[in-house]
Structure 1
Amino acid sequence: MRVTQTAASPVVRRQPSKGYQEAMRRKQVRTTTWRTLVTIIVVLGALIILAPVLWMLSTSVKSLPDTQAFPPQWIPQTLHWDNFVSSLTFLPFGTFALNTVIVTAACLVGDVLVNSFIAYAFAKIQAPGRNVLFLFVLSTLMIPFPVLMIPQFLLFKTFGWIDTLLPLIVPSFFGNAFYIFMFRQFYLTIPRELSDAARIDGCSHFGIYWRIMLPLIRPALATVAIFSFTFNWNDYLSPLIYLDSQEHYTLTLGLASFIGRYGAQPWNLLMAASLVTVLPCVILYFFAQKYFIQGIVVSGVKG
């Protein structure tokens, strides 16, 4: 034991025992080993998840014979950048992209505005049977889409909407239970005093929704916008059901048109076109991931 004494007061400093030092060293080794193991597992998992994406990148710059080589080559000897030009000019991808943009933009507006307004009513307006009605809305999540395909097709056929973009757009303006649930959970985190003060000042429910609530739920709006954009941009089943003529095709149907157009499957051109098709979703998530994560956390925990 080492004793240090000063004029003010004596200070006693004890050296850690060898047993304590050894225990701390073992704990540090265990912590370092565990973190290293977790890092290795996460990296391996990320590589497994990214393997299809890396293979798509590799195949998009290969020649057609190289895509059929065995064993497969991850890095081709010659990079064929002209595959992107060939893939986008072989079919009218400009028309496909325009149709997809129209459908995605219209559905995004409907999903964001309509569902946020419906959720505001469920969260902030006191009405008899409100909770029961909300349970009925949530129960529609248990109805699979294949059950609705034939009734919806017959309905849209009666309206004369087959082979138009309307069956892909109009349903987004009639509410989505999942989006309504997300918006409602976010509204519940906003103090009721804000809407009460606005109502005392003479603001209507629509004014409260438009002027007060929408600016406060930007993370939820961004989250629903990302979900809506990704789903409608990549939707294949609905366009396959309702669209017949090529001038109304979306990008997903255009990609499917590659199969059978050549004598052999043009995997290089298909991968090149697929890479260009998925880029908007990747770019959108890259710039909006902050709001996306915040919206998921708040709407999923609070309420």
Structure 2
Amino acid sequence: MDYRKKKARNKIIQHTLLLLFTLIMLYPLIWMVGSSFKESSSVFVNAHQIFPDEWHFSNFVQGWEGFGGISFATFYKNTFIIVIIATIGSILSSTFIAYGFARINFKFKKTWFAIMMMTMMLPFEMIMIPQYVMFNWFGWIDTYLPLILPTFFGVPFFIFLIMQFIRTIPKELDQAARIDGCNTITIFTRIIVPLVMPAMMTAAIFSFYWRWDDFMAPLLYIQSPSKYPVSLALKLFSDPEAVTNWGAMFAMTTLSLLPIVIIFFIFQRYIVEGISTSGLKG
């Protein structure tokens, strides 16, 4: 009986601590949502108060109107264009490249793989200026090409993730398919791709998150406000030379999180399946 009481008490303590840590981690998010309903002038005056006494739903209307005659509908449209095309490009190209590294023997294969893995260690600040000079020479500044086109040449992390998944697939399936008359491309499209779908979905979710939150790249390459994504448009709410509408800014920030939250809850099982079963095992 004492053992059961002790076990129950330990569970209560564990769940209490987990709930406490969860609230601490969610506090900034809850504060942001509460501030989106506050009057702009009282956001930081009553910063200790999470939810307002008087709810201002007009913040969402004012925020959606945007600025300079450009509404947030335009910024959302721009963001979805960048995110969807870049995600499709990164997944298709990374899967194809991963198949080559996992199944095809070619000269200097290990060397090219090592070079690819080393690119994952390069910080963005190191390649930022060379990339800008190159894209400026191409005439791509103030277009979406610098944000989209490089993804069609593979993303190293996604290549590694999908390649490890492919290595868990028995090669006997490839050999059986060749006996039936399938070539390399047919094996890839009809056998490999359906089997690595969990890893591809995991990579797609990560790509969606990264592209949606990306601020630095649009800041470098996009100059016209009508082409801004949501991440860059939110920064324009904060104007050091004028009165900032904090309520509208937090309202639009809250709305900007909705796609990410929806994607997570819909596809969260693919994240677990894609990483645990997919094989980050060698």
TM-score above 0.5: yes
Q: Note if contact 2:74-2:226 (Cα within 8 Å) is conserved in structure 1.
A: yes
Partner residue of 1:119?
98
Other structure's SS at 1:142 match: coil
Name the aligned partner's letter for residue 102 of structure 2: A
Partner residue of 1:278?
257
Q: Note if contact 1:115-1:180 (Cα within 8 Å) is conserved in structure 2.
A: yes
Q: Note if contact 2:31-2:51 (Cα within 8 Å) is conserved in structure 1.
A: no
Partner residue of 2:270?
291
Q: Note if contact 2:222-2:228 (Cα within 8 Å) is conserved in structure 1.
A: yes
Name the aligned partner's letter for residue 146 of structure 1: E
1:71 and 1:100, CA in 2 relative to 1: closer, same or farther beyond 3 A?
Answer: closer
Query: Can you list the C-alpha shifts for 1:239-289, whole angstroms capped at 9, x where unaligned?
Result: 001111111111111000101188333221111001111110110111000
1:59 aligns with 2:35: yes
User: 1:95-134 alignment to 2 at 5 Å?
Assistant: 95-134=74-113
1:90 aligns with 2:66: yes
Partner residue of 2:223?
244
Can you give the 5+ residue segments of structure 1 that lack an aligned partner in the other structure?
A: 1-24
Q: Note if contact 1:218-1:291 (Cα within 8 Å) is conserved in structure 2.
A: no
Counterpart CA distance in 2 for 1:300 and 1:267 is 45
User: 1:210-289 alignment to 2 at 5 Å?
Assistant: 210-260=189-239, 263-289=242-268
Name the aligned partner's letter for residue 152 of structure 2: F
Name the aligned partner's letter for residue 54 of structure 2: T
Match of 2:177 among 198, 212, 215: 198
Runs (4 or more) in structure 1 with deviation over 4 Å come to: none
Can you give the 5+ residue segments of structure 2 that lack an aligned partner in the other structure?
A: none
Other structure's SS at 2:120 match: helix
Partner residue of 1:47?
23
Counterpart CA distance in 2 for 1:76 and 1:102 is 36
1:262 and 1:96, CA in 2 relative to 1: closer, same or farther beyond 3 A?
Answer: farther
Shift of 1:196: 1.1
1:29 aligns with 2:5: yes
Normalised by the size of structure 1, how large is the TM-score?
A: 0.88
Task: Please tell me the root mean square deviation across aligned C-alpha atoms, in Å.
Answer: 1.5
